[in-house]
Structure 1
C-alpha cells in the first residue's frame, strides 16, 4: 500500500476504485468522495453491511456463527485444544463444520445475516479467497485459520477506516459505469484481474483480452479529459508477457513495484518465489 499511495496524486476530490476487491485501497485514500465498484454483488453487499453496523455488532454475530457450527476458536482456546498448531492450522478440525456452513449459505439459509455468513466463510476459507461455481455456489474449501486475534484486529481497523470516509459502494461491471462526472482534480485507480496470471477472479473467462482492451480504451478516454488514473497490473510473469498492455503502456509512465509472493500460498514451498513484473501505470 505505501508503494501505491506514494505514487498517487495529492488533494483528490473524487476517487474512483474501479475494481474494489477487498477495498484496501478505498479505505486508505483521503478524498472528498469515494466511489468503489465491483462486479461481485455479494462483496458490495458485505461492505454496505459493515458500513451500517458497529464492530461489536459484527463480531458478536460472527462469534454466534462460530458457536452454532462448532468451528474452532483459537483466540479463546488456543491450538492445543484442537490438537493442532499454528503452522498447520485448524483446517482438519473445521472441515466438516465448514462444509455444513457453506451448504447453508448456498441454500440461502437465514439463520444468520447472509452477509456475515458469507464473511465467516471467507475468514475460515482457503487463503480467504472468494470463488463461485457456474451455478453461483460458493465453493472455496476450508482454510487453516479462524476468527483469531489478527483477523479481529484487521476487521476493527478496516471498519474504523470504512466508517470515517465518504465511500459509496456500488455493484457494477466496469464497462457499465458512467464516469462523465470525473474531471481534473479527480483520480481513478484500476486494479483489474491480470490477463497473464491465474486467480479465482479470472476463472471461467472472467477476464479476457476483450475486457483488457475495453479497460485500456476507457483509460485513454479519461486521459483525454485530463482525469488522472493509475493502473495496477503485471507486464511479465515467468515466460508470459502481456503484449497488449506493454504496447499501450508505452504512452504512459511505468513504475515498477517491489513484490514478494514467496508465501502467498501455503500449499507451495515457502522458498518458492513467483517471478513477475508488477507495475503501476500512470498518466501523470
Structure 2
C-alpha cells in the first residue's frame, strides 16, 4: 500500500498549483459532491483532494495519454522509463521523434515514457510545443534528475484505480457542461491571460488560448454557477480578467513564478482566484 502523501504531481508543469494548495484548499468549498478539473495539467489540486469521484480533462493529448498509461499499464511504463539516459545527444534524439513520420508508430507506453523523460530532463521542466505541435524545450543539464519516481507513479496508479476517476481529452467545456450538477466542485486552471505582451505562456498545446477563449470560459463558469455548482477559477490578476468576472468574488493571491525563460521574470506575482460561491 502506497502512502497517501505519495499521491502527488508526477510532472513539473508551467502554472502548477502545488505552491498555492494551502490557499486554494482554504478557499475551496468545505463539502462537495463530485470534482471536475477540465485543465488538469500536473494535477496538484486533484492529488490534494483525492476525490472519490472525479472528472479530469486536458486538451493536451500527450499529457492525457500519460495519465491513462499510469492508470492502465504502470509496470510497462516503469520498465520503459528505465531505458532513458540523462545525456544531451540522447535527449535531442528523443525530443526529435515528434518531428518524424514514425512518431505515430510509437506505442502509447513509449509516448508516455517520452513525455515523462523530457519533462524531467528538459530546461526548467517546461512542457512547450511550437506552432507545429513539436516539443521544443532544450536540454536541462541536470546532474541527477529523478526520471523514474516509482513511489509517486505507483501511488498515482493506485489512486486512479481505487476511485472513480474519469479521464478525457476534449475541449474544456465538454465534460462539465455534460456532467456537472448542483453541489459539484469545478476547478478551472486555464492558460493565463498574459500580464504583458511578452509574457504569454499558452503553448502547452498547439491551440492557443486568447481573449475569446477566456470569454468562452467565463460563459461556461456562469452556466455552471447557475446550475448550483461551486466554481473556482485561477488566472492572472489583470484588468481584463477582473472585468470579465466582475459579478463574482475575486481574491488576489501571491504566487511564485518558478518557470520563466528569464530569471528576472521569476518571483512573486499576483494571481486571481475567482469564486462563484463566495460573496463579493
| Smaller-chain TM-score bracket | 0.7 to 0.9
Cross-structure match for 1:229: 231
> Residue 201 and residue 152 in structure 1: after superposition, are their counterparts in 2 closer, same or farther (change >3 A)?
farther
Give yes or no for the alignment of 1:62 onto 2:81. yes
Look up the match of 2:49: 29
* The one of 30, 54, 60 aligned to 1:10: 30
TM (normalized to structure 1)? 0.76
**Where in structure 2 are there 5+ consecutive unaligned residues?**
1-20
Question: Which string of whole-angstrom CA distances, capped at 9 and with x for unpartnered residues, describes residues 96-130 of structure 1?
Answer: 22111222354326487222122212221122222
Q: Which of these residues, 164, 177, 180, is aligned with residue 179 of structure 1?
A: 177
* 3-state secondary structure, aligned to 2:231: strand
Structure-2 separation of matches of 1:193 and 1:268: 21
Structure with the greater alpha carbon radius of gyration: 1
Deviations 1:29-61 (A, max 9, x none): 24341111111111111100001133x543332
2: distance between equivalents of 1:225 and 1:166?
Answer: 23
TM-score by length of 2: 0.77
Deviation readout 1:248-275 (Å, 9 max, x if unpaired): 33321222323223x5448526xx7545
In the alignment, does 2:273 pair up with 1:280?
yes
Residue of 33, 39, 56 corresponding to 1:19: 39
Asked whether the 8 Å contact 1:130–1:200 carries over to 2, the reply is no
> Given that residues 120 and 147 in structure 2 are in contact (C-alpha distance below 8 angstroms), is that contact kept between their aligned partners in structure 1?
no
1:268 aligns to what? 263
Q: Is the aligned partner of 1:131 residue 2:131?
A: no
CA contact (8 A) 1:98 1:121 kept: yes
Aligned match of 2:219: 217
Aligned partners of 1:200, 1:129: CA distance in 2, in Å? 12
Aligned to 2:186: 188
Q: Which residue of 2 aligns with 1:83?
A: none
Structure 1 unaligned segments of length 5 or more: list them: 73-93, 236-241
